[in-house]
Amino acid sequence: MPSTDSILRYPGGKSQLSKYVAHLIKQNKSSGTYIEPFAGGFGIALHLLLNNQVDRIVMNDYDPSIYSVWYATINMPEEIISLIDQADVTLTEWYKQRSIHEKSCKDPKSLENAFSTLFLNRTNISGIIQGGPIGGQSQAGKYKIDCRFNKETLKQKIRRIAASKDRIILSNLDAKDFICTELPNYDSKDSFIFFDPPYFKQGRNLYLSFPSNVEHKILAENIVDLIDYKWITTYDHEEEILNLYRPYVQSFEYNLRYSANQKKIAKEYLFASKLTKIDSYDNVNLTKI
């Protein structure tokens, strides 16, 4: 599994596209502000920021648990580091943190929500919060519950991210509200947006918050209206999604390696505004459709 700058393991995360997105930002001369309305694991944004390929990043995520992790990382780094140090990465602790998460998961600024989310993410299969522990309840599998919970690595990442807090803008809005109320605050000429919504078909199985089919349609309408911005959108390979975007924007297929539940290579869609200069690069080979 490739190393990322994120502290979260995120189902369907796009960290493997970091070099590609950096290439597009350079091609489009849009290194001022990088924006992710569905931040999730925040892997690409952190890569761009920590390698000084953009001036600042904007992270938005509607899920209060995911948002709480980033809020705590930026605003309470030593508190969450202390909890990492104190934690026994065992099944007993897993049950404790699952219970804490059930009680605190609606509070986007709760340290308890942040740490329980982080703990479950790092100890569950594929990072899925609703999933079971790595190694199963019997811990008889090849990998045990603590195999993705490297305390020193997590602490280093948290401190490195927190040190750049002045270049990170956080928000906890529904994506369509973010597009309508926050996006106009950023210069369209010097910004680049990456929309990576939850999977159309598998979203309910992987995420705590996911759009309904109607919400996917509304989101598509909001995105394709952003004709003055440089943006890309990635989606799972579903005909319903293609029909929402293809008539209005640049549309492509490409292959992506998934790691949610099982490792495989599958096709995805990539859409881009007509203003965006886009081409194949690195591990992304686009086929126009």
DSSP string, 5-16: S-SS--TT--GG
What gap in Å lies between CA 221 and CA 225, rounded to an integer? 6
Q: What is the pLDDT of residues 216-275, one digit of tens each?
A: 899 999 999 999 999 999 999 999 999 999 999 999 999 986 554 445 678 999 999 999
13 & 30 share domain: yes
30 & 97 share domain: no
Provide the 3-class DSSP secondary structure of residue 141.
coil
pTM of the entire predicted model: 0.91
Q: What is the pLDDT of residues 26-81, one digit of tens each?
A: 999 999 999 999 988 999 999 999 999 999 999 999 999 999 999 999 999 999 99
What would the mean pLDDT of 1-8 be, rounded to a whole number? 80
Parent domain of 125 = 64-167
Provide the 3-class DSSP secondary structure of residue 153.
helix
Q: What is the pLDDT of residues 146-196, one digit of tens each?
A: 999 999 999 999 999 999 999 999 999 999 999 999 999 999 999 999 999
43 & 181 share domain: yes
196 & 248 share domain: yes
CA nearest neighbour of 145 among 162, 164, 130, 132: 132
Residue 208 predicted with pLDDT over 50: no
204 & 285 share domain: yes
The CATH number of residue 50's host domain is 3.40.50.150
Residue 10 predicted with pLDDT over 80: no
Structural domain total, the chain:
2
88 & 180 share domain: no
What would the mean pLDDT of 100-108 be, rounded to a whole number? 97
104 & 30 share domain: no
Residue 3 predicted with pLDDT over 90: no
Query: Which of residues 167, 198, 232 is at a domain's end?
Result: 167
Query: Which of residues 132, 167, 202 is at a domain's end?
Result: 167
Query: Which of residues 151, 167, 183 is at a domain's end?
Result: 167
50 & 181 share domain: yes
39 & 130 share domain: no
The CATH number of residue 113's host domain is 1.10.1020.10
130 & 27 share domain: no
